[in-house]
Structure 1
Amino acid sequence: MVNYKNWIEQIPDDTKISTLSIPGTHNSGACHTALPSVQCQGESITSQLEHGVRFLDIRVGRLFVGKNKNDLQVIHGKFPVKIPFPLELTDVLKEVYDFVENNPRETVIISLKQEGSNDWDNENDEFGNLIWEHYISPNKEKWYLNTDIPRAGDARGKIILFRRFGVRNEDLRNKFGFEASVWSYNTTDDDRGTFVVQDFCEVQKSIDLPKKIEYVKNLAKRAQDYTRDHDDKLFLNFTSGSNFFDKDCWPEPVAKAMLNGNIQDTFQKGVGIIVLDYAETDDWKLVKNLVDSNF
């Protein structure tokens, strides 16, 4: 029987991360009291990790109010994921640090993205420098910061940085994790060489959900076919999609539609990272299906 809390411990050291089936969560920190269209998960990050999730999607922006201009808060679009008090990135990272410290043969991928205000000086790497100096550099021993796709044995006890923000400084860029700063908006299949993304997010009406489900299944099948013989691409497959103005397209009903659409039927070994909303739905069914497929 698979131990979901420690399933990567059971993966051989020489296995490339890209060849696994990895459950992830969309807007992982959006698991607190918030606007109903903002909340994307029903369980904490710690609970997600303990149930087998190994890819966390974290979006951050400036604190709306706060004591330190270097502190960032977790947001969804332009909205805080926790009200009335902000969820700070420091607190999210502590949950992950604690999990990895307590489970030193595991690894967690963190996707870190800048969202919210557009007043960053990107010409001078203001956002990237803040992340490096305030969050990464003081904890470098906890991170896998090489730019390649690691093997399981290389990343045990560490957090793999999936960097969703650009860095112009070449010296910094070469020691700042896996670069994934750009892909086409609302894409159904965008191949960037080292990674491939399905992130069709403009689900305008519930009648669009079968189309979204098909895109998820298609990329899962493509990933499985590719990773059977290759290990040089990460496949990132978002099951999320929403429309702020239609409650039938908010994250929770979309998550239920994914289950009802039987996306798990395509969960075979090597389907890549499948990014879920409300991952705990039906006793973590999709998470367990993905983890099980690795064995």
Structure 2
Amino acid sequence: MSKVTVRNLTHLPLILKRAERYDSKVVRTGSVFTNTIGTITSFINATNFTTSETHADGEARSFKDVHVEIGSFSAKVTEFSPPEQGKDVLRFYFECEGKRYQVDVPTATDTSTVMERLSEGDKRELTAVYIARHDFLAIMSSSNLHAWMKEVRDEYPLSLLSIPGTHNSPACYTALPSVRCQAVGVSEQLENGVRFLDIRVSATPDNDNLALVHSAFPVSLTGTKWFGDLLSEVYAFLDRNPSETIVMSLKREGTGKASDQDMSRYLRDRFIRGNDGADAKRWWTRGHIPTLGEVRGKIVLLRRFNVADSVRKSENGGKGFGIDAAHWPDNCDDGKCGGGLVRVQDFYEIDQSTNIERKIGYSHAQLERAAEQLFRNTPDADAGDKKNNNKVKPPPFFVNFLSASNFFNATCWPERIAAKVNPAVIEYLCMRHGEDGKGPKKLKVGDACTGIVVTDWVGAHGDWDLIRCIVGWNARLQAKK
């Protein structure tokens, strides 16, 4: 008979101290009206919506005190059988640095839960994700998602972080179902941990107003949405949270007749040099991967368009304008651009729903490649470093798009792809990521970052589990010597 496995994804050791087993009860939540609307919306968008919660009922019918040490980033199979669905609840008690915590499995809903703190004055938060079909409990450090970068040291290159992102980030408005990619707006995404924004704009000759689009379509059917307004949201967020940085991938799409070169001038003259030059301080437009300390409070430009010669020569001493990703590899499982600064998984042409498994496999493989990277912040690590003026080369950005779509197949519209891909990636991050040989390519693990993971349809009905799982892997940097 299977037993519950516990994986500790924090940088501190955990001790399982006690287990109790209860009868379960189902508690209805919400009103008839909100449940009806939520269920309809969930059906249309293929997002998860629950109208009930599972709780422990009455007194524990059995218990056992134990002492099971679970080291940082390690897993242990416990002696406890998993709870039987609909019949009982298993309550675990853990200790971390002398503080006590408890969590029930299954959790009250299908989403993650913050473990209950039992020690007075304890401010640490731990998050638990229970994967019922594998009898697997993952425990990770909770983060203040609005300012999670505050816990990461300045000297780390940005490419070493585990960064959640969104695909076609502002495509959250009323739109064609094949066009809409997000459940909530950019401000809410940022407040909940997203730090990579994928922005597509349409440019018109002799008009520096850039309209937000997804391919040839506007992101909203109720009126044009503008890049300048989006920037105001981003600036306001960074003003509130100066410890954070945002990587912005910017690309020209849509039906506008202006060129990439035109757009590069619009971006420089209005949006970067504008506001009497004050906004220039908000941007990182150099052509190399920065450290986090260099770009706190700034937008890092990942440029998916060509630039006018006048723009290139005028910026950064003539050394370019942004991290150059203009030659983006199309529909690839592992492509390179930017002179090797960017590696991309962006397989998006899904022609049938069964092909989604191929997409999931590519996503897992890119996570594994990102995890393999190892960064040593030691100038004299070897002779090669000395030849490079004592500068250690950072790993590239591993950009991993979980998104895909097929305009002509409703089962392959963005939200329906996300309904299958996102849970599969959560499961991988909880169970296999950061383990030698557990990925598709059986690679060794280095610093175990996830890279930039670009998602669709996160935040629907308050479900931020995927974002929490990505951010949680930054705890590996806290354990790094």
Q: TM-score per shorter chain, which class?
A: over 0.9
Q: Which amino acid aligns with 1:185?
A: D
The answer to whether the 8 A contact 1:227-1:270 is kept is no
State the SS of the aligned residue for 2:257: coil
Q: CA 1:5–1:121 in structure 2 vs 1: closer, same or farther (change >3 Å)?
A: closer
1:286 is the counterpart of 2:466: yes
Q: How do 1:118-133 and structure 2 match up within 5 A?
A: 119-122=257-260, 125-133=261-269
Greater percentage in strand: 2
Report how far residue 131 of structure 1 moved. 1.4
Q: Return 11-20 or 132-141, whichever deviates more.
A: 132-141
Q: Which amino acid aligns with 2:410?
A: K
1:224 is the counterpart of 2:366: no
Report how far residue 35 of structure 1 moved. 1.0
TM-score (norm 1): 0.93
Could you say which residue in structure 1 is the equivalent of 2:336?
A: 191
The answer to whether the 8 A contact 1:194-1:234 is kept is yes
State the SS of the aligned residue for 2:300: strand
What is the distance in 1 between the residues matched to 2:313 and 2:412? 43
The answer to whether the 8 A contact 2:163-2:470 is kept is yes
Q: How do 1:85-164 and structure 2 match up within 5 A?
A: 85-117=223-255, 119-122=257-260, 125-138=261-274, 139-164=279-304
What is the distance in 2 between the residues matched to 1:220 and 1:47? 25
Q: CA 1:116–1:14 in structure 2 vs 1: closer, same or farther (change >3 Å)?
A: same
Q: CA 1:264–1:196 in structure 2 vs 1: closer, same or farther (change >3 Å)?
A: farther
1:276 is the counterpart of 2:455: yes
What is the distance in 2 between the residues matched to 1:283 and 1:94? 26
The answer to whether the 8 A contact 1:110-1:161 is kept is yes
State the SS of the aligned residue for 1:9: helix
What is the distance in 1 between the residues matched to 2:427 and 2:280? 36
User: Number of residue pairs matched?
Assistant: 290
Q: CA 1:228–1:214 in structure 2 vs 1: closer, same or farther (change >3 Å)?
A: farther
Report how far residue 18 of structure 1 moved. 0.3
The answer to whether the 8 A contact 1:63-1:73 is kept is no
What is the distance in 2 between the residues matched to 1:200 and 1:113? 17
Report how far residue 82 of structure 1 moved. 1.1
State the SS of the aligned residue for 2:373: helix
Report how far residue 37 of structure 1 moved. 1.0
Q: Which amino acid aligns with 2:298?
A: K
The answer to whether the 8 A contact 2:342-2:398 is kept is yes
Could you say which residue in structure 2 is the equivalent of 1:178?
A: 323
The answer to whether the 8 A contact 2:265-2:308 is kept is no
State the SS of the aligned residue for 2:452: strand
Could you say which residue in structure 1 is the equivalent of 2:407?
A: 244
The answer to whether the 8 A contact 1:113-1:164 is kept is yes
The answer to whether the 8 A contact 2:426-2:469 is kept is no
CA RMSD in angstroms comes to: 1.9
Q: Say which structure, 1 or 2, has more relative contact order (CA 8 Å, 6+ apart).
A: 1
Greater percentage in helix: 1
Larger radius of gyration: 2
The answer to whether the 8 A contact 1:213-1:263 is kept is no
Runs of 5+ in structure 1 lacking a partner? none
Q: Return 88-97 or 184-193, whichever deviates more.
A: 184-193
Could you say which residue in structure 2 is the equivalent of 1:28?
A: 169
What is the distance in 1 between the residues matched to 2:184 and 2:314? 35
The answer to whether the 8 A contact 1:29-1:81 is kept is yes
The answer to whether the 8 A contact 1:58-1:111 is kept is yes
1:165 is the counterpart of 2:305: yes
What is the distance in 1 between the residues matched to 2:359 and 2:173? 26
Could you say which residue in structure 2 is the equivalent of 1:253?
A: 416
Q: Which amino acid aligns with 1:265?
A: Y
TM-score (norm 2): 0.58
What is the distance in 2 between the residues matched to 1:28 and 1:262? 19
What is the distance in 2 between the residues matched to 1:6 and 1:102? 9
What is the distance in 1 between the residues matched to 2:403 and 2:332? 12
What is the distance in 1 between the residues matched to 2:425 and 2:222? 37
What is the distance in 1 between the residues matched to 2:359 and 2:333? 9
Report how far residue 172 of structure 1 moved. 4.2
Report how far residue 231 of structure 1 moved. 2.2
Alignment equivalent of 1:39, drawn from 164, 173, 180: 180
Could you say which residue in structure 2 is the equivalent of 1:14?
A: 155
Report how far residue 168 of structure 1 moved. 4.3
Q: Return 68-77 or 196-205, whichever deviates more.
A: 68-77
Alignment equivalent of 1:206, drawn from 310, 335, 353: 353
Post-superposition CA distance 1:74-98 (Å, at most 9, x none)? 0000000012211100111110000
Q: Between the two proteins, what is the percent identity of the paired residues?
A: 38
Q: CA 1:292–1:127 in structure 2 vs 1: closer, same or farther (change >3 Å)?
A: same
State the SS of the aligned residue for 1:153: helix
Post-superposition CA distance 1:224-257 (Å, at most 9, x none)? 1024566231100000000001111111111110
The answer to whether the 8 A contact 2:203-2:252 is kept is no
The answer to whether the 8 A contact 1:210-1:261 is kept is no
Could you say which residue in structure 2 is the equivalent of 1:59?
A: 200
The answer to whether the 8 A contact 1:113-1:165 is kept is yes
The answer to whether the 8 A contact 2:148-2:471 is kept is yes
1:73 is the counterpart of 2:211: yes
